[in-house]
């Protein structure tokens, strides 16, 4: 599903230089490497601010806390996401409410979200699942009409762009993860919050650093969640490859859409346009998903499910608030989804092998 060892020698050499530079600087936390990466990442996302934090989950929690969203407040999101999305809402002290997905995209369904709105709803946290940005204008209007905040979990959507702008620049904040397997990944944990809101950015900078305003002054009850200098320096290097890597993912997806032909396999809807999907994952749907996975494995092809258990069926979340009409689309998707290899180190033979293996299934 990923092959970092196959990355170019040129990239590896630049990464080693970056690490050496940090070691020689003698400055490891909250220094020049982080400020430089933050400035670049804000530029890439088209936002005024980027705040480097410990990981993607913390980015969401810090964003919520910076907005004062906490106990008594509801945040609507999707059951078809990484557990971290919902865990961040819980960690902020707020109440997650799960709406159903659109079966054609696996993204939040607007009608289901509308059923979940209550007097306590403060925000809708969209997850740009698999790298898809969709209906951003509709979501913006929906949130304005209901007087709730639009928030974005961009952990899978680096460089995804809609007519409203890049992922993370449309909502009040966007939360990015740079977990190693993400489209832009560090060599450890890292994340960032992007926003155009100055007050939110200032609050987030305090919260990530013990709630500290200036040394030894703690006006907030904060956290310890800072992106370290080595990760920032590595991300700065890897950012130079992101566009090329993203284009490779798009090319692979294009081949899959053109050449996968098997009546037992369904594909999700194609994106609105070529900018709006960055294929963090390429997902197929199959009624006999486990048999398909074993078939692929027998041919040396790995696959995973994203995600086999929707959040509301996790044993720790059984009492969670959901759409009164249920989450049947998410449950059905969870049973059928399979992510097949789609990463920048795949050769054309690798891509053909996956297509052939699926077509003979
Ligand atoms: C990876 C991921 C996260 C969590 O990111 P971490 O950096 O691992 O904390 C959150 N949401 C989604 C959708 C993700 O894919």
Nearest to 124 by CA among 105, 104, 106, 145: 145
Instruction: Ligand 1: list residues with CB < 6 Å.
Output: 55-57, 81-82, 84-85, 127, 153, 155-156, 177, 179, 189, 191
- Best residue among 1, 2, 57 to mutate for probing ligand 1, ranked by most atoms within 8 Å of CB: 57
The residue nearest atom 2 of ligand 1, judged by CA position, is 155
270 DSSP 8-state letter: P
Strand partners, 286: 265
**Mean pLDDT (whole number) for 346-356:** 98
Alpha-carbon distance 10 to 165, whole Å?
Answer: 32
pLDDT computed for residue 272 by the predictor = 86
Give the Å distance between the CA of 88 and the centre of ligand 1: 10
- CB-based contact 340:262 (threshold 8 Å): no
Residue 356's contacts (CB-CB under 8 Å, 6 or more residues apart) are none
Give the Å distance between the CA of 124 and the centre of ligand 1: 17
Q: Quick count: other Cβ atoms within 10 Å of Cβ 350?
A: 16
Q: Which atom of ligand 1 is nearest to the CA of 177?
A: 7
3-state helix vs strand vs coil in the chain, percent to 5: 40, 15, 40
Alpha-carbon distance 264 to 48, whole Å?
Answer: 47
Nearest to 82 by CA among 330, 333, 269, 310: 310
Query: Which pLDDT tens digit goes with each residue over 173-201?
Result: 999 999 999 999 999 999 999 999 999 99
Query: Which pLDDT tens digit goes with each residue over 59-77?
Result: 999 999 999 999 999 999 9
**Mean pLDDT (whole number) for 211-223:** 95
For 340, phi then psi, to 5°, come to -105, 160
Question: Can you read off the two tokens belonging to residue 314?
Answer: 């996790």
Give the Å distance between the CA of 155 and the centre of ligand 1: 5
pLDDT band of residue 8 (cuts 50, 70, 90) is: very high
Q: What is the mean pLDDT of the chain?
A: 98
The residue nearest atom 15 of ligand 1, judged by CA position, is 155
- Calculate what percentage of the chain has a pLDDT beyond 70: 100
pLDDT computed for residue 210 by the predictor = 97
pLDDT computed for residue 248 by the predictor = 98
3-state secondary structure of 335: helix
- Best residue among 53, 56, 129 to mutate for probing ligand 1, ranked by most atoms within 8 Å of CB: 56
**Where would I find the beta strands (DSSP E) of 118-182?**
121-127, 149-153, 161-162, 165-166, 173-177
Alpha-carbon distance 255 to 348, whole Å?
Answer: 10
- CB-based contact 69:123 (threshold 8 Å): yes
**Mean pLDDT (whole number) for 333-337:** 98
Strand partners, 284: 267, 338
Alpha-carbon distance 116 to 121, whole Å?
Answer: 8
Query: Which pLDDT tens digit goes with each residue over 99-112?
Result: 999 999 999 999 99
Nearest to 285 by CA among 266, 302, 271, 269: 266
Q: Quick count: other Cβ atoms within 10 Å of Cβ 209?
A: 19
Residue with tokens 């400020």: 35
Q: Which atom of ligand 1 is nearest to the CA of 189?
A: 7
Query: Which pLDDT tens digit goes with each residue over 272-328?
Result: 899 999 999 999 999 999 999 999 999 999 999 999 999 999 999 999 999 999 999
pLDDT band of residue 6 (cuts 50, 70, 90) is: very high
Alpha-carbon distance 110 to 16, whole Å?
Answer: 46
The radius of gyration computed from the CA coordinates of the chain, to the nearest angstrom, equals 20
Query: Which pLDDT tens digit goes with each residue over 228-278?
Result: 999 999 999 999 999 999 999 999 999 999 999 999 999 999 998 999 999
């Amino acid at each position: 599903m990923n092959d970092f060892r196959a990355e170019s020698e040129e990239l590896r050499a630049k990464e080693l230089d970056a690490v050496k530079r940090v070691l020689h600087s003698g400055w490891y936390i909250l220094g020049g490497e982080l400020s430089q990466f933050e400035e670049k990442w804000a530029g890439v996302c088209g936002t005024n601010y980027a705040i480097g934090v410990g990981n993607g989950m913390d980015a969401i929690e810090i964003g919520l806390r910076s907005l004062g969203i906490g106990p008594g407040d509801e945040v609507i999101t999707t059951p078809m996401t990484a557990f971290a999305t919902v865990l961040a809402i819980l960690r902020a002290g707020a109440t997650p409410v799960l709406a159903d997905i659109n079966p054609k995209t696996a993204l939040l369904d607007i009608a289901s979200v509308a059923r979940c709105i209550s007097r306590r709803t403060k925000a809708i946290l969209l997850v740009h699942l698999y790298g898809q940005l969709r209906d951003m204008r509709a979501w913006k209007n929906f949130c304005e009409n209901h007087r709730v905040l639009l928030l974005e979990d961009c952990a899978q959507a680096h460089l995804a762009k809609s007519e409203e702008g890049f992922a993370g620049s449309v909502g009040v904040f966007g939360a990015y993860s740079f977990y190693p397997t993400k489209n832009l990944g560090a060599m450890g944990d890292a994340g960032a919050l992007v926003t155009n809101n100055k007050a939110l950015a200032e609050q987030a900078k305090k919260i990530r650093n013990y709630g500290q305003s200036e040394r030894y002054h703690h006006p907030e009850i904060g956290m310890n969640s800072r992106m370290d200098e080595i990760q920032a320096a590595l991300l700065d290097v890897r950012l130079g490859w992101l566009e090329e890597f993203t284009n490779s993912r798009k090319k692979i997806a294009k081949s899959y859409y053109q050449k996968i032909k098997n009546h037992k396999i369904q594909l999700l809807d194609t994106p609105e346009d070529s900018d709006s999907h960055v294929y963090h994952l390429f997902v197929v749907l199959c009624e006999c998903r486990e048999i398909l996975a074993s078939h692929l494995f027998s041919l040396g092809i790995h696959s995973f499910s994203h995600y086999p258990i929707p959040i509301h069926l996790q044993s720790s979340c059984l009492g969670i608030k959901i759409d009164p009409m249920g989450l049947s689309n998410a449950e059905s998707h969870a049973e059928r989804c399979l992510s097949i290899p789609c990463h920048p180190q795949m050769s054309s033979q690798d891509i053909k092998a996956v297509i052939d293996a699926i077509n003979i299934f």
